[in-house]
Structure 1
Amino acid sequence: MDNKLDSAQGEYLPPVGGGEVERIDGVEGTKQTKSAAASVPVGPELPPLTADQFRVYNRLAVQMEYFHDHFRKTWTTLHTAATTRRLPPRLTTRTLLDEGLHLVRYLTAHHDIEESYLYPILARKMPQFRDAVSSPSSKHNKKKGTECELIRQHRMIHEGMDDFEAYLRACKDKTEEFDFDVLREKMDTWGEVLLKHLDEEVKELGAETMRRYWTVDEMRSIPI
């Protein structure tokens, strides 16, 4: 993840009582929900974070959300077209297929970087990333029952996405006729887990979770 994303973080107020983060300068912080709180280790109540501390601890969540927002928008464009059986404005069938293939390529690269670089760093202290240390980069094919939840979600996404990609390529090569109903069918097998993953991963990287594992200096030293 590029450090240029730091400029998009805006200003944040620290959360009060582990609740919602105030939005300043048009950028949202990460909300702590029951799902996110479940991953936070039990321990003594921590003092409120200063605004600067919150920015440091929430940095990875903000950077991750930058990419995830792009994935959500592309997914929504494709799925809306499939559901309504209508091409979006200014898109042809061919460019719609290209949008789908771009989503596949970017998601695959994103997950490869996470599994080979980011997750192993986080796994040094965070058990929810720990078994990613030995996961094979670029394959997303760990055996069932051996992966953490985020890696399991990667595997499920790629199982469905592989079939989705094959269909798009067949349509581009004109070996199969494009059909909106088939496109929707190919997306629905992995859409729910994709959207769930995009939300849960950001929550795992939120300030209230990260502060229980890392010091401010350690967070600043994570080279991402």
Structure 2
Amino acid sequence: MSLRTYLRALNDLNQHLTAHHSIEEKYVFPILATRMPSFAENEEHRQSHEGIHKGLDRLGALTKTYREDPTSFSPEEVRKCLESFKDVLMRHMDDEVKDLGAENMKKYWKLEEIDELGF
């Protein structure tokens, strides 16, 4: 893979994660929080989102720098950046999978209500 293609892939990853995460925060989580304590505002949730956003912001800045000056590219710096928010991102995703699983959702919502939400 060329450096240009790799940087495009990093940029795409950043944009997709940022958009996905922003949509969750603005539209999905507030609705789920009305019944589900795990989606209500809490310190752990807030800190995980801050950690993810901080890592994505740094990844965006690195990608921009490398696209503008490919000679400055440092694979070690990219790895360090990705690893800086890997744990919080993976833990966040694991928690969401658990919280959005059918058995847990049944505790708070009827199937008809989920259908009406339009997610």
> What TM-score do you get using the length of structure 2 for normalisation?
0.90
What's the C-alpha RMSD, in Å, of the aligned pairs? 1.6
Aligned residue in 2 for 1:94 = 4
Query: Shift of residue 148 of structure 1?
Result: 4.7
Deviation at 1:128, TM superposition (A): 1.3
For each residue in 1:95-144, what CA deviation from the matched residue of structure 2 results, as whole angstroms up to 9, or x when unmatched?
A: 1011111111111111111111111111111111122xxxxxxxxxxxxx
- The amino acid that maps onto 1:109 is A
Question: Which consecutive residues of structure 2, in runs of 5 or more, have no partner in the other structure?
Answer: none
Q: Which runs of 4+ in 1 moved over 2 A?
A: 147-152
Distance of 1:221 and 1:112 partners within structure 2: 22
* Aligned pair partner of 1:169 in 57, 64, 85: 64
Corresponding residue SS for 1:212: coil
Larger Rg: 1
Q: CA deviation at 1:160?
A: 1.7
Would you say how many aligned residue pairs link Structure 1 and Structure 2?
119
The Cα of 1:163 is off from its aligned counterpart by 1.4
Percent pairwise identity: 37
Equivalents in 2 of 1:198, 1:119: separation in Å? 14
CA contact (8 A) 1:170 1:176 kept: no
Say yes or no: does 1:122 pair with 2:32: yes
- Cα displacement string for residues 39-80 of structure 1 (whole angstroms, at most 9, x for unaligned residues): xxxxxxxxxxxxxxxxxxxxxxxxxxxxxxxxxxxxxxxxxx
Alpha-carbon separation, structure 1, partners of 2:74 and 2:111: 52
Counterpart-to-counterpart distance in 1, 2:31 and 2:71: 43
Residue 45 of structure 1 is matched in structure 2 by none
Alignment-derived partner of residue 82 in structure 1: none
In structure 1, runs of 5+ residues without a counterpart are 1-90, 132-146
**Structure holding more helix per residue:** 2
Query: 74, 86, 92: which one pairs with 1:179?
Result: 74
Check whether the contact 2:18–2:56 (CA below 8 A) recurs between aligned residues.
no
Would you say the 8 A contact 1:153–1:193 is kept in 2?
Answer: yes
What is the distance in 2 between the residues matched to 1:148 and 1:221?
30
Partner of 1:194: 89
Distance 1:176 1:162 in 2: 21
